[in-house]
Amino acid sequence: MSEEGFHVHGPHDHELEHAAQHEPKGMAGQLAVATAVIATVGAIFAYMGGATQSYAGLYKNDAAIKKTEAANQWAFYQAKSNKQNLAEIAADLAPESRKSFYVDEAKRYKSEKNEIMAEAKKLELESQAWDKKSEEQLNQHHRWAQATTALQISIAMAAIALLTRSHRLEKGVFLLSGLGVVLGALAWFHI
C-alpha cells in the first residue's frame, strides 16, 4: 500500500514494468512506451464512448417527452372533435332561436382543432428530431466502443508479444493500435 492508497496492477502491468526497468532498450522499452500511449488514448476513447452513450439516452428521453406532449395534444384534438360533433347535432335538433349559438360553437371548435393539430404535428416533428439525434449519438458511441476495443486488444497483444518476444505480435500491436486510432477518428468526425 502506498501513501496515497491502494495501487492495483492489471494482469500484465507488472511484467511490462519489470521488463521496462531491466531492459529499457529494444523491444521491451518500445512496447512499454507504446502500451502507455495506447492506454492513454484508449482511456480518452472510452470517456468519449460513455459520453455519447449518455447523450443518446438523454436525447431519447427528450424524444419520449415530446411524443407524450404530442399524444396529449391529439387527445385534446379528439375532445374538441367530440364537442364539435355534439354542437353540430345540437344545431340540427335545437329550436330555431338556439341554432345560431350551436353553429357558432361548432365553428369555434373547428378553429380550435386546427390550432391543436398544428401544435401536435410540431411536437411530433420535435420528437422525431430528438430520436434522430439519439440514433446519431448511439452510432457514434458504437464507433468509440470499437476504437476502444481495438486499443484494449492491442494492449493485451503487447503483453503477449513482450512475454513471448514475438516481433510478429509486436507488429500486430501497432497495426491494431492504428486501426483503433482510425476508428476513433471516424467517431470524432461522426462517420
Between 82 and 17, the more confident residue is 82
Q: Tell me whether residue 109 is in a domain.
A: yes
Residue 18 covered by a domain: no
Q: What is the pTM of this model?
A: 0.72
pLDDT tens-place string over residues 143-154: 999 999 999 999
176 has a pLDDT exceeding 90: yes
Cα–Cα dist 113/148, whole Å: 52
- In this model, does residue 168 exceed pLDDT 50? yes
Determine, yes or no, domain membership for 13: no
Domain encompassing residue 150: 24-188
On whether residue 19 sits in a domain, the answer given is no
Residue 14 lies in a domain: no
| Identity of the residue numbered 167 | H
Q: Which pLDDT belongs to residue 1?
A: 47
Number of domains in the chain: 1
Residue 101 counted as domain residue? yes
Residue 99 predicted with pLDDT over 80: yes
Residue 87 resides in a domain: yes
Is 1 inside any structural domain? no
Q: Is the pLDDT of residue 7 over 60?
A: no
